[in-house]
Chains A and B, each alone.
Chain A
Amino acid sequence: MALDSEKKQVFKVVGTRPARPDGIDKVTGRAMYGADATAPGMLVGRILRSPHAHAIIRSIDTSAAEALKGVKAVVTSADFGAPEDESIRDVQDNCMARGKALYHGHAVAAVAANSAVVASQALKLIKVDYQILPHVTDVDEAMRPGAPVVQADRAFENVAAGFSENVTSQCEFGHGDLEAGFAKADKVIERSFTTAATHQGYIEPHACLASMTPDGKGDLWCCTQGQFHVRTVCAEIMGMDASQLRVTASEIGGGFGGKTTVFIEPVALALSRKSGRPVKIVMTRDEVFKATGPTVSSSMDVKIGMTKDGRITAAQARLRYQAGAFPSETVTYGAQSAFAAYDLKAVETIGWNVLTNRPKEAAYRAPGAPMAIYAVESVVDELCQELSLDPLDVRLKNAADKGTKSSYGPTFEAIGLRATLEAAKAHPHYTAPLGVNQGRGLSCGFWFNFGGNTCVSLNINTDGTVGITEGNPDIGGSRASISQMAAEELGIPYEKVRTIIADTNSLGYNDVTDGSRVTFSVGLATIEAARNAIKVMCGRVAKIWGIDEDAVIWEDGCAKPSGPNAGSFDPMSIEEIAAISANTGGPIAGHFEVNADGAGVSFGVHLADVEVDPETGATKVVRYTVFQDAGKAVHPDYVEGQMQGGAVQGIGWALNEEYIYGKNGLLQNPGFLDYRIPVASDLPDIETVILEIPNPGHPYGVRGVGETPIVPPLAALSNAVSRAIGRRMFELPMSPPKLLKAMSQKR
């Protein structure tokens, strides 16, 4: 058989917009999310949480709760072991405080009872003796020597001297001679910035249903971005073999990175093991805000030198990220991505992770990148203003391109930055007139994208239709995209393919749905699995025809002789081949397992127009356009959906969203009323322009698109607001009191 190993350029199914397979379930209320499952004899689990920001837990008396009628189990950290792996122990300690409550809302005990009412009553009967400790929630304060220490002995040795123990890690990236670079600049600007912690804000609270049996088997149903990761973590925490814990991912009501880890699953498993009954835990919104991962808050310094004609000569960033009460690597991603959009001769970024008495940070869409790039893109914009240069021209002049040695080390392959910048420049938005009190801002955005461990099973059913089993929860329409790629490769209609997401016992290990990896990685594995199935089918047909396997080709869903020399045979369709598979060697399937490389980095450019009310400081986004390289848009609607959704999350981050802590270290706004995610009436249409610069690492040229769109809005909005009010802003969110104050200082 002969397969075309060249990049596929003409597509029949890829690039169309078919209906998603989960659509009808989701519009009729049938789709089953985390909280929608039930089990016979199910108990209600509830979690008691620390009312203090930082406190030693001297003792926990659960006797009264255990004695309450209807209570079937109570657990505390004493019910958990001590996993050897430090990162798993951190997850466990975050799920259930051990010895010390590290933040307001940290879990300290949990109950399972026969009703929600009894469970709530039982929580009130648990007596925790706390010794309150001094706390710290601000990143800069936490770094100072003498600050309250959140966790001792967690700092790596490479951390520079002069910081408190809360500074756990330090990272450095860059190349070139900074001093010489700055000396060449006509203008050097150095600024400091802060951003607030923001929450992923998925509408579905975390929920799970755990069922452990006395023979050591477990079943777990939960809303997660990665059932295999949940299994790894929970099995280790529970001391179970992976084979004995089956994890099924429910439909997921939004994740954005926040459901890449566990918060309640080990607790539900422990309660189920202790009670001998299935236990369901559903978080309240208040718990979601207090105890699940927001992103980091940051404090940053950026210094950039530029020549009069707009060439950047040197660039430097210092990033201080607080990631809550546990060590985190997010600052590394920030330090790597800060200057990724620029081709620089001299660049340096240094980042520090800092512990505070806040919840353990979790990934949030391009984790670490939005804040660093916000700071960089703000300084670039200020330089453009100071030197009277067009901000798009300056970015084009300095744009990273194929062959550029990136600021974080690797040399870029084909990338779409220049094309997106040129598309933005050519778009009518860029030259549209602005009204009174309006300003226009732009920003580049970047994300690495990821491939990772992927495993796909593709079965040719006996009627010639196709079932695909993959292992990544669908958070943006991936089931449709996967089916499209299989249909494309097999030459059959989209409707003949159904893709499902397997539980952990039905498929090999798959990495979490993160890093914008699924359409790229699972797509790649699906295409390869289809090719394997085609190879099997061509082999079967070759036997029937009595010719060489190489003399059979696959075209339009049929096996055909490769040419006149191969012999004269009528093509055999996939249906015909499948129908007689029992007589030709048995069921036909294709599999593919890979740790995928070559994800292909992603760039985007956003244009934002805002209007700021000079009397109140209120900002209205009046026009917004997103330009992004998708490599190849498999389902353009869903690519646009990622671009629009990410942009709006970034708009919320820029304008109103923030974790607000009081002087007492308690979270002030754990609800959707005061944690203000954008509502429909806050927003204009979000225009989208998809660029397609093929990724050489994927058979169809696909790049991940999910994360990059949240990166540019922060600086695009800040630059737009700064230009509208004639005063530069250095702090997010740009809430109205801050803007009004800034405007009055100008006068």
Chain B
Amino acid sequence: MKNLHISTTVNGDQTEFVCAPDETLLDVLRNRLGLTGAKEGCGTGDCGACSVTLNGRLVCACLVLGAEADGAEIGTVEGLATGDHLHPLQSNFIEHAALQCGVCTPGILVAAKALLEKNPNPTDTEIRYWLAGNLCRCTGYDKIIKAVQIAAAEMRNA
């Protein structure tokens, strides 16, 4: 199995890596690029803990091959904050206790950001359906939905 040489953009930075043909983007991010924010909760697209954006689309990094990242733009949780300035979703998740163990949090933040870019003023139901692929076992989702709403309002008024 010959490794492939891939050129891509991760969180706006030009990045190159080699990977095996069957290696997932999640494994590449975590094991080759040191970006361990995306988590492997299932490896089969059922939990959303590895959510990243691929050319602006929300995807599970475990269901993308590293090879497919060639020429693409990847966005991960590590790219959410600007310098030391947290994204409103990040600060509101902390302030409104929308995380407990935090292992689903990176995926949920990436997913919620993708939602608010598409729909800046979602209903609770829209948030719940959009995030249905992001499993959280700690919070019962209640505070997550509320934090997304508060962040959305803050972003609309910004």
Interface residues of A (CB under 8 A from B): 17, 19-20, 22-33, 35-36, 117, 200-205, 251-256, 282, 284-285, 475-477, 637-638, 640-641, 644-649, 671-673, 677-681, 683, 685-686
Q: Let me know if B12 is at the binding interface, CB within 8 A.
A: no
Q: Let me know if B122 is at the binding interface, CB within 8 A.
A: no
Mostly, the A contact residues are loop
A-B pairs with lowest CB-CB distance, top 8 = A29-B37, A253-B103, A26-B102, A648-B140, A23-B94, A644-B140, A637-B97, A672-B46
Q: Which of B1, B43, B78, B137 has the most CB of A within 10 A?
A: B137
Counted as pairs of residues, one from A and one from B, with CB atoms less than 8 Å apart, the total is: 182
Q: Find out whether the CB atom of B100 lies under 8 angstroms from the CB atom of A475.
A: yes
* Of the residues B36, B46, B96, B97, contact of A671 by C-beta under 8 Å: B46
A209 to chain B, nearest CB (A): 13
Q: Let me know if B145 is at the binding interface, CB within 8 A.
A: yes
Query: Which residues of chain A have C-beta atoms less than 8 A from B99's C-beta?
Result: 23, 26-27
Could you show 5 A-B contacts with beta carbons less than 8 Å apart? A203-B137, A251-B101, A253-B39, A644-B142, A681-B129
* Of the residues A24, A35, A641, A646, contact of B97 by C-beta under 8 Å: A641
Q: Find out whether the CB atom of B86 lies under 8 angstroms from the CB atom of A29.
A: no
* Of the residues A205, A256, A646, contact of B40 by C-beta under 8 Å: A205
A2 to chain B, nearest CB (A): 37
Mostly, the B contact residues are loop
Interface size on B, residues (CB 8 A): 59
With A672-B47, A680-B145 as known contacts, state yes or no: A475 contacts B101, CB within 8 Å: yes
* Of the residues A23, A26, A679, contact of B135 by C-beta under 8 Å: A679
Q: Let me know if B42 is at the binding interface, CB within 8 A.
A: yes
CA distance A526 to B54 in the complex (A): 47
Query: Which residues of chain B have C-beta atoms less than 8 A from A638's C-beta?
Result: 97, 100
CA distance A255 to B142 in the complex (A): 20
Q: Which of A252, A253, A678 has the most CB of B within 10 A?
A: A253
* Of the residues A19, A33, A683, contact of B94 by C-beta under 8 Å: A19
Interface residues of B (CB under 8 A from A): 1, 20, 30, 35-44, 46-47, 49, 76-78, 80-81, 86, 89-91, 93-97, 99-106, 109, 124-125, 127-129, 131-145
With A203-B41, A645-B138, A648-B141 as known contacts, state yes or no: A681 contacts B94, CB within 8 Å: no
Query: Which residues of chain A have C-beta atoms less than 8 A from B39's C-beta?
Result: 33, 35, 203-204, 253
Q: Which of A284, A638, A645 has the most CB of B within 10 A?
A: A645
Q: Find out whether the CB atom of A27 lies under 8 angstroms from the CB atom of B94.
A: yes
Q: Find out whether the CB atom of A680 lies under 8 angstroms from the CB atom of B132.
A: yes
Q: Find out whether the CB atom of B104 lies under 8 angstroms from the CB atom of A203.
A: yes
With A29-B38, A285-B41, A285-B43 as known contacts, state yes or no: A477 contacts B132, CB within 8 Å: no
Query: Which residues of chain A have C-beta atoms less than 8 A from B44's C-beta?
Result: 285, 671-673
A96 to chain B, nearest CB (A): 24
13 further A-B contacts with Cβ under 8 Å, apart from A23-B94, A644-B143, are A24-B86, A26-B105, A27-B86, A33-B39, A200-B137, A204-B101, A475-B100, A475-B101, A637-B96, A671-B44, A673-B46, A678-B140, A679-B135
Residue of B at shortest CB range from A200?
B137
Residue of A at shortest CB range from B129?
A681
CA distance A476 to B93 in the complex (A): 14
* Of the residues B77, B96, B101, B141, contact of A202 by C-beta under 8 Å: B101
